[in-house]
Amino acid sequence: MLKKKILLGVTGSVAAYKAAELIRLLRKNDFFVQVVLTKSAKQFVTPLTLQALSGNPVLENMWEPSEGNGMEHINLSRTADLILIAPTSGNFIAKLANGLADDLLTNLCLARSCPLLVAPAMNVEMFENNATQRNLKAIKEDGVLISGPDLGEQACGEVGLGRLINFESLMLDIKKALTPQIFINKKILISSGATVEKIDEARAITNLSSGLMGLNLAKTAYTMGADVTVVSGNSNYELPQCIKKISAKNHEAMYQSIVSNIENNDIYISAAAISDYKPSYTKGKIKKGSNLISIDLEKTKDILSYVGENFSHKFLVGFAAESENVVENGKNKLLSKNLDIVIGNEIKESMGKTKASMVIIDHDKNTILPKAEKDIQSRIILEYIFKLLSKEKAHDTIN
């Protein structure tokens, strides 16, 4: 069963050809797609192509006879969950800014009762023109959501802002437009991935964390309205461009990045697998010798303990990856490190895996999360954080 209905408007931009791939991606994500094509867009892509990919007739003319009351521009906007204009030309942005309604797509935008998300795509000079920037500011103030554009080489050969946003970031913005913004005006700092500690100039020790949990938490928090920053160690995954990233490959870099950024955030989630010990560094390369070699390890700073001691006014979330006694060890971590909640899991069941079973441990109870994909778990965890924060806020108001 298809989840949501999207009206996809395609306007007269060179990037209109990318609408074909976008439709394929939307349908893969279970969206019902109804395409509305402007007259100019037909110069770049044919209605037949978009009809074949969407599985629905492409709409162009608001004056064609139709079933029902003949008010297609009203009817379509009432049944849609989202109107997405991708690509959005500079001309169409100007129409939106001035409330024009001279074709089917502009009428749909003006008559809508659902969110409107636009993805600008045009030449860099057109995008940076004062008129375009003024128009973008106007539609943003009117509640229109804007995704992109990206920086890069354009069809004309110039380089700059104006490329249609990459589809990974666009899909996140689509989900954001359809998701309750429970973390609006909240800033969330997330540490993610594994740290890597050098043994010598050629070798290092690390761990098996893939960074997937941190990635999913970041993406989900973004769709819930948060301003997200990720302090990222070594990871198997790239963060979407719409999420801010601070690279921190080893323990010291992770420590400095977390401590220097946490004060500017409301919530800190420690999902990174940070080194508890690091080797004494040997300059150069250790040569092969006997069959056995010893490496001295020294204990590193306990970053989460430091954070709990010095930033207890923030909402602090820790992870406890354990080989046994998950709940007991997680509870000890919650108390000893002065955290608000701890997410406990078994190492062999979670580290490096796409699915995991977890338990959320707070100061009142333990909530077991059955085995599921980590994107599902991340949504449950963030909703849990929101509920606890809301409870604290209500408590503060009462007092």
- Known catalytic residues are 156
Residue type, 253: A
Q: How far apart are CA 255 and CA 371, in angstroms?
A: 31
Burial tier of 92 (Cβ tally within 10 Å: 0-12, 13-18, 19+): buried
d(CA 246, CA 229): 7
CB 101 within 8 A of CB 72: no
Kind plus residue range of the DSSP H or E element containing 348 = helix 347-350
* Residues 6 or more apart whose Cβ sits within 8 Å of residue 364: none
Q: What are phi and psi of 295, to 5 degrees?
A: -125, 125
What phi and psi, each to the nearest 5 degrees, are found at residue 337? -110, 10
Distance CA 308, CA 338 (A): 5
Cβ-contact 210, 236 below 8 angstroms: yes
CA distances from 36 to 7, 14, 62, 82, 100 (A): 7, 17, 10, 13, 17
CA-to-CA distance for 368 and 183, rounded, in angstroms?
24
Which residues are paired to 234 by β-bridges? 194
* Residue 16 CB partners (closer than 8 Å, separation 6+): 10, 41, 44, 45, 87
> Judging by DSSP bridges, how do beta strands 159-163 and 150-153 pair with one another?
antiparallel
Strand partners, 246: 231
Cis bond upstream, residue 149 (ω within 30): yes
